[in-house]
Amino acid sequence: MAKILPIDDEPSVRGLLATLLERKGYDVVLAESGRQGLEVFTRARPDVVLLDLSMPEMDELAVLRQLRVLDGEKPVIILTGAGSEAIECEARLLGAAAFVEKEFSLHELDDTLTRVLSGGSERPRTPLRPEHS
């Protein structure tokens, strides 16, 4: 199964992602900051990166630029909650594979991962609703 690297500064989001992704059979490695994410990326060589759009310390675009230097083809899915249109546009120019609202459903995240891992392009973005299970 694919290895996924969520990079998010919120412990609750990292924990939720780890739980949801592991239940779906993914191998998960976590990072709590952009710098740590780059280190983990270099060491673990994940198949997909889930990158929080808003992080302190090292901004998301700097992380995305560095990921592109390390591997220009690795899919990066942006997790967004309060990003600006300008930042999202620049992330697309840097090759972001998809965008997922932070209030994602498990099905939407899984569909996005499946599509990105199979080389598919992003569908138009729509607001997502939290999953209630």
Distance, CA of 24 to CA of 54 (rounded, Å): 26
Cβ atoms of 81 and 111 within 8 Å: the answer is no
Structure confidence at residue 123 as a pLDDT band (50, 70, 90): very low
Residue 77 has pLDDT above 80, yes or no: yes
Tell me the pLDDT of the chain averaged across its residues.
85
| β pairing state of 27-28 and 3-7 | parallel
Residue 98 buriedness (CB in 10 A; 0-12 / 13-18 / 19+): buried
- Residue 9: CB atoms within 10 A of its CB come to 17
Structure confidence at residue 125 as a pLDDT band (50, 70, 90): very low
- What's the CATH fold of domain 3-117? Rossmann fold (3.40.50)
Residue 89's pLDDT is what?
Answer: 86
pTM of this structure: 0.82
| SS percent in the chain: helix, strand, coil, step 5 | 40, 15, 40
Cβ atoms of 66 and 50 within 8 Å: the answer is no
Q: Which amino acid makes up residue 63?
A: V
Residue 83 has pLDDT above 90, yes or no: no
Average pLDDT over residues 48-62: 86
Residue 3 has pLDDT above 90, yes or no: yes
Q: Spell 69-91 as b/e; 16+ CB within 10 A means b.
A: eeeeebbbbbbbeebeeebbeeb
